[in-house]
Amino acid sequence: NTSQTWGKVELSDTRQVGATDQDHFSAFHLQVDCYPSEGGPAFAAEAFSLYQEVRDAFQAMPEATITGAVVTAVRFGGGRRLADTAFDKPRQRYILDVFIHAHA
């Protein structure tokens, strides 16, 4: 449903952290693409608002209670605006790179 802002999440990489217990602690690299609604305001203001909300939610993860996992740290790569040319008419989006350190 593209009538509202929406996001696409891709897991880019998962790496074990530390040599002591490699299956215990992992670093996850996610790419989150934040899109505006179809027919929404020009200049991707909606997509940027969603980008900020998603970033804030990830930033709060180490303090949150999450079933089945403990998030110890969240770090961000550079955020950028880049049109998605996979659509017939390219769509604006903001891209957020997130690095999550967690264990079971």
| Chain position carrying tokens 């693409």 | 33
- The residue among 39 and 19 whose pLDDT is bigger is 39
**Burial annotation 21-33 (CB, 10 A radius, 16+ → b, else e):** eeeebbbbbbebb
pTM beyond cutoff 0.75:
yes
Residue 104's pLDDT is what?
80
Number of DSSP helices (H) and strands (E) in the chain, helices first: 1, 5
Nearby residues of 79 by Cβ (< 8 Å), 6 or more positions away: 51, 55, 94, 95, 96, 97
pLDDT for residue 21 is more than 60: no
Residue 12: how many CB atoms within 10 A of its CB?
12
Residue 23's pLDDT is what?
60
Residue 13's pLDDT is what?
77
Cα–Cα distances in Å, from 85 out to 11, 28, 89, 96? 20, 26, 7, 17
Six-digit token string for 30:
């996610």
pLDDT digits (tens, 9 = 90+) for 37-58: 887 665 678 999 999 999 999 9
pLDDT digits (tens, 9 = 90+) for 51-103: 999 999 999 999 998 898 899 999 999 889 998 899 888 888 999 999 999 88
